[in-house]
Amino acid sequence: MSTPTDTTPAAPVVPEGHVAMEIDGQSVFAPKGSMIIHAADKAGIPIPRFCYHEKLPIAANCRMCLVDAEMGGRPFPKPQPACATPVADGMKIFTRNEKALKAQRNVMEFLLVNHPLDCPICDQGGECELQDLSMGYGRSVSRFVERKRVVADEDMGPLVATEMTRCIQCTRCVRFTADVAGTYELGGMQRGENLQIGTYDGKPLTTELSGNVIDVCPVGALTNKVFRFKARPWELTARESLGWHDALGSNLFLHVRRGEVLRTVPRDNEAVNECWLSDRDRYSHQGLYADDRASKPMIRTGEGSDATAFREASWDEAIAKAAEILRAAHGDDLGVLVHPSTSNEEGALIARLADALGTGNVDHRIAQHDLADGAVAEAFAMPVADIEAADAIIVVGSNLRHEVPLLHQRLHKAAKRGAKIHVVNPVDFDFTFKAASKTIVAPSQLASAVAGFKIEGATRAVVIVGAVAELSSQASAIRKAVADFAGANNAAVCRIPQGANALGLSRAGVLPTARDAQAMLADARGAYVIYGIEPGLDFADQARALKALGAAKVVAFSHYACRSTRAVADVILPIGALPEIDATLTNLEGRTQRAVAGGKLPGEARPGWRVLRALGGVLGANGFDFTDLAGAKLAAREVKVAASAAQKTAGEGLELAVSQAIYRVDATVRRAAALQSHPLEAGPRIVLNPADAAAASLAEGAMAKVDNGLGTATLQVVIDARVAAGAAWVESGYGATAALGAGRVRVTGVN
């Protein structure tokens, strides 16, 4: 006779640190201290919300997420906000019962009391959270018959459009600027029915992340000023792409209509950019449609840089002319210079082409002065996301907030969590966190400042080296000092690659086996290939570069037929920019990411890999017989990079500290009209320490002649004690500062 068995299922084991609760009859586990809305989201149970955002501090001021709750069989006396009510063991939540739905519908009615009925002309229409939820929770007829309130708009700058009458005071934008961007530029003014959101002082937003307030706004109060009135969301096609103006490689979507990129929005990737996007990546697509965009192959027929010095040609004729130039300069007489945002596929083909032409003079490090140690881009020794958890961070030679805005935002988060951030710079640049210490010294003293630096008690230390250091005349000494410091303190070294794909190009072998970029310009070659470069603004030493290129035969693979390109090129081959081609880039932590073609190529422009394939075929080079992009992914070229001659910085005058202007980093950004109108676009100037300005008898606002021995510039003087004594700060990317490289300058008044 068998013994009966107990078939009652065993009670589930509650994970450590969790509580057991019930939501709409579904048993769930939730971490202690979390909120009801977190548990519901994890369980896939929808709760309406407006003010709640998973990346922002909890405000609980819209009340749209009200739910019914009970504990131990006893109901709570009134509905609870799910975003601000902690979970508890044994709690039962009802999100769809009569009490909860009545509360949610009443909140919706109040939200719509003053909201204008202008959905047909609102840019948020079709992707509006209020519009969506009002369909489920709103009444078909309003009981409110009084006059709706109207809020005057304020101008928040060239990027964000405002219609504040639509605002429902969710404060997402306020919390974003305060807690994520760290600039505290928006706030609530007045109280009750008079409450309104604004800047108070009426000035434009100055954060480099301002476009994110558009994404977090659940209504049409804050919209994209560049995109405004151009299209409806349902007319757009989304294409996966990448940010290509810094080495982070932010994930994004291009929103395209009939081949035109109309808008850029972030694509979630917690490991890279989370759900945010810098303004530089968001608005740069404007530059794709500049008047001087290269759209047809051109061959030189005369002298000078005017359009009349060129004639349009067929692709066959232009490729044949380019091949003729390259055959004539075969070998060491040829130099190949590549922009560091060039894709991996194009880079691999360029390296293969250089080998076929017998030249070792190929380099993408076009903006770097000091390559005495043969340095190339290296992947971060720590993942970007893990930097938030560091307990000590040393920033060396970087205006990080402008250089890689979303890496700076990671440091902002680290500082809020208690990390001590130390800064070693020639200028006391603006950061949104409070530095534990600041060492502000002239560029030549950065290496010794790092060597003498002490950190105590840190178990997770990080050293971040930026463009001010990497592009300086003392870069090799700084790199050595950083390596020695890291070795002695068990710190992770994170050198920011100087270009969106500098790391990928290094791995693809776009590096010299003979002369590096500086050497092949100092000792001019007979012919050059320049790829994706704006010659007048992208080189470390513009005067030397233009002199060398101007005296040589030049084949220019170019996005723009600008004046400086026309001044040096003999053949202009128009190629697609990253938003217009299929490609991969490798970001600063070594992550290779894919971009899909979004925008239509202008005119007769072609993807760069296709043009390289055609040129390689005409030249009879091996490895150019593929027919698609997959065939362009060739094996990396093995390169052992030789060290170059050390830079000499001795001499009289002030040491030049050069940082990249945030919206002048490359040709496309320079042509984005909205970014050029941004308050962070300060314009060409020279910033001096008060003592140095007094010694040169220069006053604020005066015009000064700046001479580095190779070129001169006339710049307006700004006096600021944030600049180290003995140094002069200028921003690169402007025509007015192009003649100045690194090293020392003499600064005198203009009579």
Helix 608-619 with 315-328: angle, nearest 10 deg: 60
- Whether 585 and 242 have beta carbons less than 8 Å apart is answered as yes
Res 1 pLDDT > 80: no
Last residue of a domain, one of 439, 464, 495: 495
pLDDT of res. 315: 97
Indicate if 662 and 735 belong to the same structural domain. Answer: yes
CB under 8 Å to 361, separation ≥6 — which residues? Answer: 332, 334, 335, 336, 354, 512, 514, 515, 519, 520, 525
First to last CA, the chain: 116
pLDDT of res. 535: 95
Res 650 pLDDT > 60: no
Indicate if 467 and 542 belong to the same structural domain. Answer: no
Q: What are the φ/ψ torsions at residue 659 (nearest 5 degrees)?
A: -120, 160
Residue 222 lies in a domain: yes
Residue 261 lies in a domain: yes
Residue 11 lies in a domain: no
Average pLDDT over residues 516-527: 95
Residue 643 lies in a domain: no
Indicate if 277 and 204 belong to the same structural domain. Answer: yes
Q: How do residues 462-505 score in pLDDT, each as one tens digit?
A: 999 999 999 999 999 999 999 999 999 999 999 999 999 999 99
Q: Which residues pair with 265 in a beta bridge?
A: 253
Residue 379 lies in a domain: no
- Whether 213 and 160 have beta carbons less than 8 Å apart is answered as yes
Domain residues for 463? 384-495
Q: What are the φ/ψ torsions at residue 176 (nearest 5 degrees)?
A: -65, -50
Identify the burial level of 697 via C-beta atoms within 10 angstroms of its C-beta, where 0-12 means exposed, 13-18 middle and 19 or more buried.
exposed
Res 533 pLDDT > 70: yes
Supply the CATH number for residue 470's domain: 3.40.228.10
Q: How do residues 6-39 score in pLDDT, each as one tens digit?
A: 566 666 788 899 999 999 999 999 999 999 999 9
Average pLDDT, the chain: 93
| Cα angle 263-266-272, degrees, rounded to a multiple of 5 | 145
Res 322 pLDDT > 60: yes
For 723, the 3-state DSSP assignment is strand
Indicate if 87 and 202 belong to the same structural domain. Answer: no
Residue 177 lies in a domain: yes
pLDDT tier, 440 (very low <50, low <70, confident <90, very high otherwise): very high
pLDDT of res. 625: 87
pLDDT of res. 8: 60
Indicate if 367 and 509 belong to the same structural domain. Answer: yes
Indicate if 185 and 219 belong to the same structural domain. Answer: yes
Indicate if 205 and 345 belong to the same structural domain. Answer: no
Residue 388 lies in a domain: yes
Average pLDDT over residues 703-719: 91
Helix 344-356 with 608-619: angle, nearest 10 deg: 20
Q: How do residues 264-307 score in pLDDT, each as one tens digit?
A: 999 999 999 999 999 999 999 999 999 999 999 999 999 988 88
Indicate if 155 and 245 belong to the same structural domain. Answer: yes
pLDDT of res. 589: 96
Supply the CATH number for residue 55's domain: 3.10.20.740
Alpha carbon distances (Å) from 90 to 22, 35, 93, 240: 7, 14, 10, 44
Residue 131 lies in a domain: no
Last residue of a domain, one of 463, 480, 495: 495
Res 214 pLDDT > 90: yes
Indicate if 23 and 49 belong to the same structural domain. Answer: yes
pLDDT of res. 586: 97
Supply the CATH number for residue 728's domain: 2.40.40.20
Copy the structure tokens of residue 551: 């005296």
Indicate if 604 and 558 belong to the same structural domain. Answer: yes
Supply the CATH number for residue 624's domain: 3.40.50.740
Report the domain count for the chain. 5
pLDDT higher for 748 or 140?
748
Q: How do residues 85-105 score in pLDDT, each as one tens digit?
A: 999 999 999 999 999 999 999
pLDDT tier, 156 (very low <50, low <70, confident <90, very high otherwise): very high
Taking Cα atoms as reference points, which of 153, 155, 159, 154 lies closest to residue 677? Answer: 159
For 496, the 3-state DSSP assignment is coil
Res 3 pLDDT > 80: no
Res 73 pLDDT > 90: no
Q: How do residues 374-391 score in pLDDT, each as one tens digit?
A: 999 999 999 999 999 999
Indicate if 662 and 592 belong to the same structural domain. Answer: no
| Cα angle 25-29-30, degrees, rounded to a multiple of 5 | 115
Res 173 pLDDT > 80: yes
Indicate if 152 and 272 belong to the same structural domain. Answer: yes
pTM of the model: 0.94
pLDDT tier, 587 (very low <50, low <70, confident <90, very high otherwise): very high
Supply the CATH number for residue 165's domain: 3.30.70.20
- Whether 283 and 227 have beta carbons less than 8 Å apart is answered as no
Alpha carbon distances (Å) from 566 to 180, 538, 735: 43, 15, 16
pLDDT higher for 330 or 132?
132
Q: How do residues 599-639 score in pLDDT, each as one tens digit?
A: 999 999 999 999 999 999 999 998 898 888 887 766 666 77
Last residue of a domain, one of 261, 289, 317: 289
pLDDT of res. 95: 96
